Amino acid sequence: MSQKQWIAGINAVSAALEHDAEHVREVLIEAGAKNPRLAEIENRAQRLDIAVRKVATQALDGVVGNLRHQGVVARYAAAKTYGENDLEGLIEAAEGRALLLVLDGVQDPHNLGACLRSAAAAGATAVVIPKDKSVQVNATVRKTSAGAADSIPVVPVTNLARTMRDLQKQGVWLYGLAGEAEASLYALDLRGNVALVLGGESDGLRRLTRENCDQLVRIPMPGGSEVESLNVSVAAGVTLFEAVRQRVAG
């Protein structure tokens, strides 16, 4: 069953029209707006035979609430939502080269959106998030991800520690990022079935999450103590593309 969503903002709507137009049902554009990028969106949607309506700003505000829409929103029917029972099939389909991003309690929707964008760009198999104590995919996440939220499987799970143990049974190695770890990310072999596990913005990895990792590793930072800990979305990008580098090279 498809799931109807509203996505808002010039970049998010443009990305949806470019990468997944078949699931865009209609586009609403602010009447009288002079932004040339809105005109581009209107023309592209019309070329794709997607309905375009000019509406008052108040109508856009009513659709997306406090989210900044920049004069355009789109009604989007996501093709599929994923559950934890789908993980096994996704890993099997990756044929020994699954690349998972596991996020333990990310609270900021902008951070989750940025993580999804990096995961999609890296060709990740799926992103796993807990159903509780974590932001879920909402309108802000969709906008920040610039379409990635609907191009990569996002799998919310009830019990993250149990899911991690299930992944290990499927032959997935779990590497958790922790600033105090002794081992370096760059010393790992990330070419097989791998899950990169990152903690939330304030508390990092929870105890059970740490205990279920095969190994804790750190991102070497030559700047030392003068450099603040990396934002979770930046850390996700660094770790994912180290895996990509190894897979392309190997």
Place of tokens 């990569």: 152
Report d(CA 98, CA 84) in Å as an integer. Answer: 15
Residue 199, marked binder: yes
Report d(CA 28, CA 13) in Å as an integer. Answer: 10
The SS3 assignment for 3 reads strand
Residue closest to 205 by CA, chosen among 174, 226, 183, 182 = 174
Within 10 Å of residue 132's Cβ, how many Cβ atoms? 11
What single letter denotes the amino acid at residue 218? R
Residue 230, marked binder: yes
Query: What are the binding residues for S-adenosyl-L-methionine?
Result: 199, 219, 230
Query: What are the binding residues?
Result: 199, 219, 230
